[in-house]
Structure 1
Amino acid sequence: MSSEYLIQTRDLSVGFPVGGQLFNRRVLKAVNHVTLAIPKGSFFGVVGESGSGKTTFGRALLNAVPITGGSAHYDDGEVNYDLGDLAGADLKEYRRRAQLIFQDPYAALSPRMTVRDIIAEPLEVMGLCKSRDEVDERVREVAAMCRLNIEHLRRFPHAFSGGQRQRISIARALVSRPRFVIADESVAALDVSIQADILNLLKSLQDEMGLTYLFISHDLSVVAHTCDHVAVMYLGQIMESAPTRQLFEAPRHPYTKALFSAIPSLDPDDKGKVQRLEGEIPSPTNRPTGCQFHTRCPSATDLCRQKEPEMEICEAGHSVSCHRWQELQTAV
């Protein structure tokens, strides 16, 4: 495994058995053969429609759901873990190094706990501090980094706005001094102006603490503002992966192009061509043959319906899983 990357997955799959009968059960593959590498210190984005497997992929990297196929590795230079085989002291240490920022700042915080206790809870559960004074010092330190005042620590979550609550959630995630942070739709529930404030906070904390982010979102405008590299996921698989600017300037996959065409324009006179996606994402328990996207792709051929495409490198750092990407690019 290369030391350049914090997280590397190879053919990673996550499946869940469904159905009531023991001999009639099917497997719902929420994540299906994902190969990905997240560089150290990057702000790595994963985008896709609801139901594309983004959250399950993130939870697999946190060891919160079992990995049922393939492999995932974590290597920060100090420790090297196979995420599919973690237990005991190694799992406890990985929990300290990998943290999650939840989507809903209202549901993520206990209404019965003060802000101080909420932020301090990971330290106390993991036994990372030797005394209460050390806990309080660490809490005040991370609270200040997240732009929370000392008097805020005595209050309860109901006294705060959505943006303030999300800063509390960020402080709780960072108090254990992790290396890897997954932000799962962490600004989706906030107003646009507050979104920008939280995103700028995450970027400043990345520089200050040397963090690596996996940023899960369905909002392409937010991803364009924040991420260094973006992977596009559909039905549990990666359709396209590229540096952010490269992906937005020259998308190769029809699914990526359809997502981009749905971004609203600020120009009311812009009559740009919109590529609408017909139908719904197929059920993960009844996957299409061939390319997973062919049931909704306007450019699908018999080859797409019969054979699953391999991930191809179209230029440095840019890969795509599509039989016709070269032909479609020439047609444009």
Structure 2
Amino acid sequence: MSDPLIRADGLSVHFTLGGLFDRRILKAVDNVSLDIEQGSFFGLVGESGSGKTTLGRALLKAVTISKGSARYDDGEVSHDLASLDGPDLKDYRKRAQLIFQDPYAALSPRMTVRDIIAEPLEVMGLTANRAETDERVREIAAKCRLNLEHLRRFPHAFSGGQRQRISIARALVSGPKFIVADESVAALDVSIQADVLNLLKQLQDELGLTFLFISHDLSVVAHTCDHVAVMYLGRLVETAPTRKLFAAPRHPYTKALFSAIPSLDPDDRGTAQKLTGEIPSPTNQPTGCKFHTRCPHAIDLCMREEPQLESEGGHDVACHRWKELMSAVPA
């Protein structure tokens, strides 16, 4: 494995809510440590409200890192994301980009596709003149399966899949190496999802990209990602190579998520594990293990002490009882 492109150590993103007499701290991301290897397709999964998008935006320096550290190192430059500003922040904007979830809301209806894709080049001053800008726009548009006729049109003339390819072209035009794809296929039909995912994998190979792929769809993650991290209430509860994680999940929360994946067998009624209760509020988190209020295997230790990620065989899990529960599973 190569050196990590992104390394986070104890990264936290906290927001202050309320006024002088009703001040609360919302722990959107809390003490997260992870490595994203260069050239990898790293998946991040979890329920809504688990902090996935906030973590992605923290790694893009789009929100302030409250505690801990995060570093970007592509072999050419190295940036400390927690203290990044000024010229270094401008340089990082070229190297790290975001693909938005909603292709309908992400594009200005008043701009042509050419102008949408060219905007990052013009804002960042990456090209010397219009001819150079047009050449770069045509080059990246062709890689995203957009032709010259497409560049003259406005976004309303395109389908959802075509709009998402425009969004991808805009994200790639500055020549980034790190891409955060935040639910980038969630709003698309299944057949179009496959087309966009295949395009992302092709672009990854051609351009040497590294992806942080945020998704609710575990079947998409299984098909696309090399490594997967599972997030719950602002913390990582399990992370492993995709094959290992899907073959033998260790954390009760991960097992519950995987049990909800629909089967292609029409006669399979499924054995989905029902989680009782709602995810706790990030402003009033439970003590001990954050999942113990919904975990069917919780004991007193889980309520008192918060488990830390424990690594074994490249598979990390934060659960006091995972070995005991794994040994209890019938062979």
TM-score normalised by the chain length of structure 2: 0.98
- 2:18 match: 19
Distance 1:268 1:305 in 2: 40
Distance 1:318 1:171 in 2: 35
2:299 paired with 1:325: no
Distance 1:189 1:75 in 2: 32
Distance 2:198 2:322 in 1: 35
Deviation for aligned residue 1:272:
3.5
Which of 99, 105, 108 is the aligned partner of 2:106? 108
RMSD of aligned C-alpha atoms? Answer: 0.9
SS of equivalent residue, structure 1 residue 139: helix
Counterpart residue type for residue 299 of structure 2: T
CA contact (8 A) 1:71 1:84 kept: yes
- 2:133 match: 135
- 1:242 match: 240
Alignment deviations for residues 61-111 of structure 1 (CA, whole Å, 9 cap, x no partner): 010000001000000000101001111110000000000000000000000
Distance 1:48 1:272 in 2: 20
SS of equivalent residue, structure 2 residue 114: helix
Alignment deviations for residues 278-308 of structure 1 (CA, whole Å, 9 cap, x no partner): 1111000000000000000010001001100
- 1:228 match: 226
Distance 1:87 1:326 in 2: 44
CA contact (8 A) 1:14 1:32 kept: yes
Deviation for aligned residue 1:274:
1.8
2:8 paired with 1:9: yes
SS of equivalent residue, structure 1 residue 294: coil
Percent identity, aligned pairs only, is 77
Which of 30, 49, 59 is the aligned partner of 1:61? 59
Gaps of 5+ in 1: none
Paired residues for 1:288-327 under 5 Å: 288-315=286-313, 317-327=314-324
Counterpart residue type for residue 97 of structure 1: R
Deviation for aligned residue 1:200:
0.2
Deviation for aligned residue 1:268:
1.8
2:50 paired with 1:52: yes
SS of equivalent residue, structure 2 residue 25: strand
Which of 118, 127, 133 is the aligned partner of 2:116? 118
- 1:178 match: 176
Counterpart residue type for residue 23 of structure 2: R
- 1:214 match: 212
Which of 154, 159, 162 is the aligned partner of 2:157? 159
SS of equivalent residue, structure 1 residue 215: strand
Distance 1:162 1:138 in 2: 24
Distance 1:143 1:248 in 2: 35
Alignment deviations for residues 170-198 of structure 1 (CA, whole Å, 9 cap, x no partner): 00000000000000000000000000000
Which of 264, 276, 297 is the aligned partner of 1:266? 264
Distance 2:136 2:13 in 1: 36
Distance 1:13 1:105 in 2: 29
Counterpart residue type for residue 190 of structure 2: V
Counterpart residue type for residue 7 of structure 2: Q
Distance 2:118 2:278 in 1: 43
CA contact (8 A) 1:17 1:26 kept: yes
Counterpart residue type for residue 220 of structure 2: V
- 1:194 match: 192
Distance 2:315 2:15 in 1: 31
- 1:41 match: 39
- Number of residues of Structure 1 aligned to a counterpart in Structure 2: 329
- 1:276 match: 274
Deviation for aligned residue 1:3:
6.5
TM-score normalised by the chain length of structure 1: 0.98
Distance 1:266 1:195 in 2: 18
Counterpart residue type for residue 38 of structure 1: I
Counterpart residue type for residue 134 of structure 1: E
Distance 2:145 2:269 in 1: 42
Distance 1:12 1:3 in 2: 22
- 1:31 match: 29
Runs of 4+ with deviation above 2 angstroms: none
- 1:85 match: 83
